[in-house]
Chains A and B, each alone.
Chain A
C-alpha cells in the first residue's frame, strides 16, 4: 500500500472516530441545553408533574435526596425525551404483543387466562387484577383525617362513585362498606352515589380497559352531581354529539397488566359551554384537548393515555372562571374521575376551584387545608367527588390515574 493511501486511510479513520464521538456526545449536548431551553412543568402524555433540576444543598446531598432528584429530573427534562420514551414504549409493546400472539397461536388454551369475566380483560393469571379483588381493609385513619379537615365547613357534599373497586359483581346487592364509612365520617349536608347495579351496567358506564367511567358514565354522573348541587335540572348542560375516534385506547388495566391484546376505541361527548378560562397550577392555560380530538388530532402510539390527553391531566389546582356573578364559588375536591366533567360542573358557578389532593401539596408546597382555602377564596360550597381511593388512599396510586 502506498504512503498516500495509508495516509488517506488514517485520515478517514480519524474522521470516522470524530463522527463516532460526536454521536456519543449528542445526548450529553442535549442535557447541556436543558437550562437554555427551559424546564417543562408537566407531561400530558404521562399525565404527571415533571421533576425539575434540584437546587444543591448539603443536607440534600448527605441524605441522597439531591442525587435521586437530579436523576429523576434529567430523565424528565431531557429534550426529545418524551418522543424517545414513547418510541421505546411502542417498540416494547409491539414486541410483547407479537410474543403474546405467538404464544396464543401455539397454545390457544392459554388465552382464557386473560378473560375471567365475560370478554373483558380483567384477569391475568397469577396476577389477579383488582377488578375481581375487593379492597380488603380500608384505611379508616386516612378517611377520618380527611373528614376532620373538612369539619367546620357548612356546605360539604359528597358524590361517591361506585366502581369495580367497591362492587363485588358476584354479590352486587351487598352494602357498599366504603360508602357507609365515608358518610359516617363526613356526615355531609347532602350526598349521592353513582351506582353500579350489576356487571352489565358497569360495562355500559366504564371503559373495558381502564378504571375510569366512559363518556356515557361521566355524563350520567354530571347530571346527578348537578341535581345534588343545585336541587334541580334547570340550567343543566345538555350533551351534544358523541364523537367516536379511531384512537385505540388501552387504559390503565391494559397498561398495568401489559395486556396488549386488549383495546377499545375512544369516544367523547361535545358540549356547548359558555366561554371560560382555566388556570392550572397558577398558570393561565387551556385544560384538556377535546377540541384537538374533535379535529382528529391525537396521539396514535400504543398505550397512549387518551383519557388524560383528551379530558385533561391531574393537577394540584385548576381554577375555572366563567366570568359571571351571583352564582357563587365551588370547591371541587376530586380525583381524575372529575376530569371530563370539571367544566360542566364549573359552568354552574362563577368560579370553581378543582383540587386534587394527591398533587396539591407538591404544587403548593403546603398541605391542603380546606377551611382556610375556602375562607381565602370566598368559597361557599364544597363537593368531594371520587371513588373509594379519594377517601381512603393517600397519594397517587400505582399505575397512575
Chain B
C-alpha cells in the first residue's frame, strides 16, 4: 500500500486513526498501531509479513539476551548472531540474485536464480532493527522488554517501507509515553498534505518528463539536460514527499521523527549535500559503519579506505546493481577530493558558484543512479556533453506527455528553495499565518487527490530500496 493510493488515503488511514483514538492508554494505542502496521505491510507483502514477524521475534530475543548477559564473549556472540540474521536476510532477498549473477559471470556459466521478490522496505526496517540491537549491545540504550513496544517500533507504518530510518533511541521515550495534541495533529495533517503534493503533483510530473527521455535511444543535449534536471527533481520530491508524509503521520500518533531532508539542492559542497539529503541514512552509516571503522582518526590512508567502504555500501544499499555501487564510489571520491585536495580552493570560490558546481555534480550522480548499465550511462553522458543542443522544441512538440508536464518545472525548482522557511521565519507569529498555511495545505491536498483520480501514474521510487 502506498501513501498516495486511495486505499490508504480514504480507508486505511482514517480507519487507523479512528481505532487509535478510540483506544485508551499508550499500551492499547501501541497495539492498534502495531496491528494496523502489520496489515499495512501484509497489504503489499502478504507472505513476507511472516518474515517480518520472525524478524521481530528474533530481534526481541537478541535484545533480551544482550540485556541479560554481561559476559563480553556471550554478548558479542549474540550481536554477531543478530548481524548474521538481519544482514543475512537482506543479503539473501536483496542481493542474492545479484551475487549469483556476478558469480556466474566470474565462473563463466550462469547460475540458477532465486525466484522471490524483494520484501517491501527491507533496507529500511533492517537498518532500524540494527540500530536497536547495536545500541543495546553498546549499552547506549536500555533493552526493550516489551515485545509490543519493540514490534511497534519496527513495523510502525508511517516509516516502515521508505523511511526515514528512525533510530530506536529517537522514539524510545515516545513508545513508552506520548501525548497527542490537536496542534500536533493539525501540523501533522499539513505536513502530510504537503508531502502528498510533493509526490503527486511534482514528483509524478517530473517523472513523466524524465522517464520517456531516459528511455529514448538518441538524444540532443538540451533534451538530455531536461531529463537530468527533471529526474533530480523527481527523486527529491518523491523521497522527501514520502518523508514529509511519514513525519506528518508520526505526529498524528504523537511521534516526532527527525527531519530527513534540508533543501539538499542548496548545498555548497558534496559534504554539505549529504548533510541535507537522506539525513537518516547518512547519519546511520556514519554512526554504525564509518565511526566503528575508525572514521578519520587512523590516518589519511585508512580514512580514504573507510570513506570508500562506507560510500560503496551506501550505493549498494540503494539497490543490487553495479550502477548503485558506481554511484556510491562516485560520491566517495568526490568527498575525498573535497576533503583532501580541494578544501582550500573551494573556500575561495563564491558561494553561488560553489552551489552550482555542487548541483552539477549531483545531477551527474543522478544520471549514474538512474541508468542501470555502464554503456547507458556513458551514452547519456555523451548526449549531455557532446550532442548538439538544438532539438528540444521538436522533441517536445512530438511528446505531449512531456510537454504537458513541463509546466510543473518552475514550481518544482521553486519548491527546492527554502522560501517556505523564509516565510515561516517572518510570519510564524502573525495572526494570519496559520490560516494561510492551512489553506495552502488544503489546496495542495485537494489538488493531489484530484490529480490522483485523473491519473494512474503513481509509482514511488524509493519503494524499490
Q: In the assembly, what is the distance between CA of A6 and CA of B183, in Å? A: 16
A residues within 8 A CB of B46?
A: 61-62, 64
Q: Which residue of A lies closest to B43 (CB)?
A: A67
- Are B394 and A31 in contact, CB atoms less than 8 angstroms apart? no
Q: Are B431 and A9 in contact (CB under 8 A)?
A: yes
Count chain B residues whose beta carbon lies closer than 8 angstroms to a beta carbon of A: 46
- Enumerate A79-131 residues with CB–CB distance to B below 8 Å: 81, 84-85, 87-89, 92, 95-96, 99-100, 103-104, 106-107, 110-111, 113-114, 124-127
- B410 surroundings in chain A (CB, below 8 A): none
The CA-CA distance from A355 to B435 in the complex, in Å, is: 56
| CA A30 to CA B438, docked complex, whole Å | 21
Smallest CB separation, B416 vs chain A (Å): 22
With a cutoff of 8 Å between Cβ atoms, the chain B residues found around residue A95 in the complex are 404, 407
Within 8 A of B (CB), among A5-31: 9, 13-14, 16-18, 20-21, 23-25, 27-28, 30-31
Residue A197, interface by CB 8 Å: no
Q: Are B403 and A27 in contact (CB under 8 A)?
A: no
A280 to B399, CA, bound (A): 39
Complex: A49 Cα to B343 Cα, angstroms: 64
Query: How many angstroms between the C-alpha atoms of A24 and B11 in the bound complex?
Result: 13
> 1/0 per position for A23-54, CB-CB distance to B under 8 A?
11101101100000000000000000000000
Residues of chain A with a CB closer than 8 A to B1's CB: 67
Interface string of B396-421 (1 = CB under 8 A from A): 11111101101100000000000000
Q: Which residues of A contact B401 (CB under 8 A)?
A: 258
Q: Across the interface, which residues of B come within 8 angstroms of A258, CB to CB?
A: 400-401, 404
Asked if A127 contacts B404 (CB within 8 A), the reply is: no
Q: Is B395 an interface residue (CB 8 A)?
A: yes
A64 to B431, CA, bound (A): 49
Check B182–A17 contact: CB distance below 8 A.
Answer: yes
Residues in chain A near residue B449, CB distance under 8 A: 27, 84
Count residues of chain A with CB under 8 A from any CB of chain B. 50
Residues of A within 8 A of B403 (CB): 96, 99-100, 103
**B451 is an interface residue with CB less than 8 A from chain A:** yes
A74 within 8 A of B: yes
Closest to A26 in B: B446
Q: Does B5 contact A (CB under 8 A)?
A: yes
Question: By DSSP majority rule, is chain B's interface helix, strand, loop, or mixed?
Answer: helix
Q: Which residues of chain B have C-beta atoms less than 8 A from A20's C-beta?
A: 186, 189-190, 438, 441-442
Q: How far is the CA of A107 from the CA of B393 in the complex (A)?
A: 8
Contact with A88, one of B43, B190, B450 (Cβ below 8 angstroms): B450
CA of A100 to CA of B451, assembled, Å:
21
User: How far, in whole Å, are A259 and B399 apart by their CA atoms in the complex?
Assistant: 10
Q: Which residues of the partner chain A approach B394 to less than 8 Å between Cβ atoms?
A: 107, 110, 113, 125
Check if B453 sits within 8 Å of A81, measured CB to CB.
Answer: yes
Which of B5, B11, B193, B400: most chain A CB closer than 10 A? B400
Kindly report which residue of chain A lies nearest to residue B406, judged by CB atoms.
A99
**Distance between A173 CB and nearest chain B CB, rounded to angstroms:** 31
A85 to B190 alpha-carbon distance, docked (Å): 24
CA distance A20 to B400 in the complex (A): 36
A28 CB contacts on chain B under 8 angstroms: 9-10, 13-14
Closest residue of A by beta carbon distance from B7: A71
Selected A-B contacts with CB under 8 Å, 5 pairs: A78-B453, A85-B453, A92-B454, A99-B407, A113-B397
Q: List the 8 closest A-B pairs by CB distance, nearest first.
A: A125-B398, A258-B400, A88-B454, A126-B398, A17-B186, A31-B10, A110-B397, A74-B6
Which positions in A face B, CB cutoff 8 Å? 9, 13-14, 16-18, 20-21, 23-25, 27-28, 30-31, 61-62, 64, 67, 70-71, 74-75, 78, 81, 84-85, 87-89, 92, 95-96, 99-100, 103-104, 106-107, 110-111, 113-114, 124-127, 257-259
